Amino acid sequence: MTIAHSANKPSEIALWVGNYLALTKPRVVSLVVFCAFIGMLLAPDDGLSLQRIVAATVGIALVAGSAAVFNCLVEQRIDRQMARTRARATARGEVSTRAALLWSLGLASIGMALLLFWVNTLTAALTFATFVGYSIVYTLILKPRTPQNIVIGGLSGAMPPALGWAAVADSVPAEAWILVLIIYAWTPPHFWALALYRTREYAAAGVPMLPVTHGPEFTRLHVFLYTVLLSAVTLLPFIIRMSGWVYLAAALLLDAIFLAYAWLVWRDYSDRVAQKTFRYSIFYLSALFAALLLDHYLV
């Protein structure tokens, strides 16, 4: 019996660690960190130290993870009613409300301390404001009340490049805000593509996403319109000479594909098309920022 108990212990510990790690939404945090890191690399370095890069990256990741945990904590009821979230440990009751709250506070505290003492005050302040914007303004106030939750609350999710830029340059110039604007314009078509094929789940959970309140046809049109807007915004780095022809070529290609998907969502909709659009949107943002970075170091 003792041997069997000992053999099961590592798997129990792994499950426990996995539950807490999953609450931080690692895939979302990895995209946040990637966008912040792009901001760091595009900013003037002025002799930037490796210590600051590491502290900024880890600090931003921890605070983003903390916001994700808080989101899971607040949305336990909603998560139980949606297929893509009902497996979360908070929704299943495997992590208690108190434990999740302490986990969120612990991550935020360590992350903010790293940013405040090893990076700079501006980055710490902007990161804290982003945390409040996502956890309080978006999750608690906007998401349960308005179908424009993604549009209004999208600014908090768009901030990572500004955080990265501030960590390096201790300032946030126009170039950094253009990167923020790109993510801000990307957010509605990204999330509404998801909401279209999850409409019934959002309706059952009582979340007023756009296809629930205004219908699928209205949402499909707005996916296309916001993708057109996004395509225009992605030209700004080239227009202000922040980037060169390498980025422009990549942006035009990526935009053309995204527009083709958005057109299909509007004019020839199926859940499969919406799913492909949602998945492509994630690749799109990563590839666009990678192209911007490649252009920066090649030109």
DSSP 187-241: HHHHHHHHHHHTHHHHHHHT---HHHHT-HHHHHHHHHHHHHHHHHHTTHHHHTT
The string of pLDDT tens digits covering residues 111-122 is 999 999 999 999
Q: Tell me, yes or no, whether 20 and 164 share the same domain.
A: yes
Q: Tell me, yes or no, whether 135 and 181 share the same domain.
A: no
Asked if the structure places residue 119 within a domain, the reply is yes
Q: Give the span between the Cα atoms of 11 and 2, in whole angstroms.
A: 15
Asked if the structure places residue 188 within a domain, the reply is yes
**What pTM does this model have?**
0.92
Q: Tell me, yes or no, whether 279 and 163 share the same domain.
A: no
Give the residue numbers spanning the domain of 285. 173-299
Q: Poorest-confidence range of 60-64, 77-81, 129-133?
A: 77-81
Whether residue 3 has pLDDT greater than 80: no
User: What is the reported pLDDT for 45?
Assistant: 72
User: What is the reported pLDDT for 10?
Assistant: 59
Mean pLDDT of 60-68: 97
Consecutive H or E run containing 153: helix 149-158
Q: Tell me, yes or no, whether 192 and 74 share the same domain.
A: no
Q: Tell me, yes or no, whether 121 and 230 share the same domain.
A: no
CATH number of the domain enclosing 159: 1.10.357.140
pLDDT band at 2 (very low <50, low <70, confident <90, very high): very low
The string of pLDDT tens digits covering residues 156-205 is 999 999 999 999 999 999 999 999 999 999 999 999 999 999 999 999 98
Q: Give the span between the Cα atoms of 164 and 34, in whole angstroms.
A: 9
